[in-house]
Amino acid sequence: MRAFDVVLLIAVLVLTLVVLGAAVFGARVLRGLQTRPAPEDPAYIAEKDRQEQSLAALRTAADEANSTIDVAKSAAAAARAEAAGATAEAKAARAEARRVLDDARAEADTVLERAHKQAEADAEQLRTAARRSGEREVAVLAATTREQAAEVERRAARMDERERLHTEEVERLADRERQLTAASAALAAREAALAVREEELAEAESQRRRELERVAGLTADTARAELVEAIEGQAKREAALLVRDIESDARSTAEQRARHIVVDAIQRVASEQTAESVVSVLHLPGDEMKGRIIGREGRNIRAFESVTGVNLIIDDTPEAVLLSCFDPVRREVGRLTLEKLVLDGRIHPHRIEEVHELARQEVDQLCQRAAEDALVEVGITEIHPELVTLLGRLRYRTSYGQNVLKHLVETAHIAGVMAAELRLDVPLIKRSAFLHDIGKALTHEVEGSHAIIGADVARKYGETEDVVHAIEAHHNEVPPQTVEAVLTQASDACSGGRPGARRESLEAYVNRLERIEEIAAGKLGVEKVFAMQAGREIRVMVKPDDVDDIGAAVLARDVAKQIEEELTYPGQIRVTVVRESRVTEIAR
């Protein structure tokens, strides 16, 4: 019996006892009613009512106990039904488990049987493969044995052949030794005969010399001296002719080579055209801004000029003012200051000082960045910071309209190409060319030539003597003594003299062309003069009757020399003298 059935039985017993107790209590109450006093007694009535209420409560409790017993019986019946269902399910589960176990045993037997068969098949395959592998190894070993036997036979044959050849060589050497012995004996006899013949020839030569000296009246030493002298004179003449030819060829080759190097360097450097100016123009949003810039009684413009050091020109030009200053850095600071003031709108002396300080710091940063970019482009890494600052100031410095910092970069590139063509020290020559105009950053502060100033600055900040010498010699203040100085001069001339690099005033340009034509036209025999290629070449037409070919060469040299002495110009000027010969005949 399960625990649930025991609990239900105990509950039924307890309820039965409760019902029995209630019945006993009811019987006692009935007996009490039978022996109760007269109805008229109030205590009796109260007691009766109380007992009736107790009896009703007992009946109610009995009914509830009966209903509880019925519910307990129903629950017990349901529990018995569930227990029967669970028992049936357990039996079914046991049957299903037995069936599954039987199936698993049957499948395991089948799998084991298949595994035994597969193992036997695999073992058979392995035995077959092992048998075949053994047969192959036996065949390979047999073939190897046969090859080794054949190799042994071949070696034995070679040894026999070598032994035979050795024997034949020994025999040949013996024959050669016998031949050499005979030849040595023949040579000894011939040497003895030659010695006798040499003595006879020496005696004959002595007699002939004595006879020649007697006939010529000269000794052998005197004749030798005269012959050597004649040969020496002829050799000198031939050497002079050879040296002249070599010098001519070398001069022609060197000129072609130099022209090729310069042209190649210029072609490989792409540069900008000049567009710089010494006057800055600032556009204004309106003409009413000019009055605010001038200020009351000119207070603002005076404060601006005193703070920036830049002259401010306000004229009738609509919506524009001019800033003029000989120092390009100071002019740029003034332009930025005025531009910021115009954008801000607050223009008074105190504000001018504040904005000027901000503009000066901004220009310093721009200069520093420009110098660093130029150094990166050229490929120079180690340089003194003060030199970097000076290079940055050249960002706003111009020479004949050409930006100096761009000119330095261009010159360094041209010099590097030339040095590479000549197989020289490229970094050193590029450094010399890049720093050659650094003195222009101080020409407004220090008196003297920018070449000498730049050399002093470079020497002060630790540059090598080769670089310093190239800087101070690039304008011939100091005669150039090194290859670096010469290449610096050449690259500087290429950068400054190329078309579009620099500009000059129209009046100076026209005056130079006119003077070039006047110099050539003033020579005797000149018929026409043409200045061509912006004054880079001059064509001189001469009268063929008055000037011959030699006179044309002399005329060209004289014109070139006079132009060099009297004029100042960038680059070089080619003088070409044209002598035309005309022959006229009439056919009748």
Burial 196-226 (b: 16+ CB within 10 A, else e): eeeeeeeeeeeeeeeeeeeeeeeeeeeeeee
Flag the least confident range among 95-104, 272-281, 434-443, 523-532: 272-281
User: Using an 8 Å Cβ cutoff, are 577 and 556 in contact?
Assistant: yes
Q: Are residues 333 and 363 in contact, defined by beta-carbon separation less than 8 angstroms?
A: yes
CATH 1.20.120.80 fits 390-501, yes or no: no
Q: What is the distance between the alpha carbons of residues 494 and 571, in angstroms, rounded to a whole number?
A: 7
Q: What is the CA radius of gyration of the chain?
A: 65
Q: What confidence tens digit (pLDDT) does each residue in 473-509 have?
A: 888 888 888 888 888 888 888 777 665 555 555 566 6
Q: DSSP letter string over 17-55?
A: HHHHHHHHHHHHHHHHHHT---TT-HHHHHHHHHHHHHH
Residue 322 phi/psi, 5-degree rounding, is: -110, 140
Q: Which run of H or of E encompasses 540?
A: strand 537-542
Do 531 and 519 touch, CB atoms closer than 8 A? Answer: no
Q: Locate 360 and state its tokens.
A: 């000066």
pLDDT of residue 423: 85
pLDDT in tens, 13-41: 777 777 777 666 766 666 665 554 444 56
What's the pLDDT score for residue 39? 47
| pLDDT above 70: percentage of residues in the chain | 82
What pLDDT is attached to residue 276?
42
Higher pLDDT, 331 or 508: 331
Top-level class of domain 271-378: alpha beta
In this structure, what token pair is assigned to residue 142?
């047999």
Q: For 306-320, what is each residue's pLDDT tens digit?
A: 888 888 888 777 778
Ramachandran quadrant class, 533 (left: phi over 0; alpha: psi -120 to 50; beta: rest): left
| CATH architecture designation of domain 508-579 | 2-Layer Sandwich (3.30)
